[in-house]
Amino acid sequence: MYDKPVLNVKSLKEQVYDFLREQMRRGEILPGSVIDMEETSRKLGVSRTPLRDALLQLESEDFVTILPRRKVVVNQLTVEDIKNYYEIIGALESMAIIKAMGVMGQKEIEYMEQMNREMKQAIEADDFDLYYEKNLNFHNTYLNLCGNEKLMRIVNNLKKRLYDFPRPEGFVKEWEEASIEEHNQLIKYIREGNKEEAARFIRDVHWSYAVQEKYIIKYYRHIATG
């Protein structure tokens, strides 16, 4: 009946949130900077209400801190943040694997293997954005099957905080190659039906700050140390 949708499905708050997150991802809004609510409201052509609501969501996700007198500071990522995020993601993905392995079959395992191959191809083509997309697909295979949407939301938000804030140019090739090998080991445990080893491996190796630190300090070259 209509050639185009009559209504925008997303609320104003969601549109403002998406705009601010994209600006952060692209480095247009940098950690440590201040968001001027009046200026941003005028720029987007929206009232302060959807802007405030979007900022409140960003604050709940630890991207910004809202201070008195409408001052909003964009949080900086610190080493302590990374350690904490790795610990949380490792624990949650470990739980997700245990829950998901009861319903995972050959189809899901083959998909994970395919994503791992495509990650390798992306690295060979020096395409980090594609690598990152395939990496998310790999992990989302079992996250989507764990039956816990809140867990998925927390993990995905923390990954955005780690890798899209803003996303650094380039990548640490040896880290990505090591990650692919770790994925192969994880797939082996899943094929064997070994829930305990798969959960331990994702928590104590793949998402272990201590194990990954040598790569992390290369990737996050300019983060705050406090």
- pLDDT tens for the chain, 226 residues: list them: 445 544 355 789 999 999 999 999 888 999 999 999 999 999 999 998 999 999 999 999 999 999 987 789 999 999 999 999 999 999 999 999 999 999 999 999 999 999 999 999 999 999 988 999 999 999 999 999 999 999 999 999 999 999 877 777 778 999 999 999 999 999 999 999 999 999 999 999 999 999 999 999 999 887 755 4
Reply yes or no on domain 12-74 having CATH 3.60.15.10: no
Long-range contacts of 41-47 (CB under 8 A, 24+ apart): 44/16, 44/19, 46/12, 46/16
Reply yes or no on domain 79-219 having CATH 1.20.120.530: yes
Question: What predicted TM-score, i.e. pTM, was given to this entire model?
Answer: 0.87
Domain boundaries, the chain: 12-74, 79-219
Task: Report, in angstroms and rounded to the nearest whole number, the Rg of the chain calculated over CA atoms.
Answer: 19
pLDDT of residue 8: 53
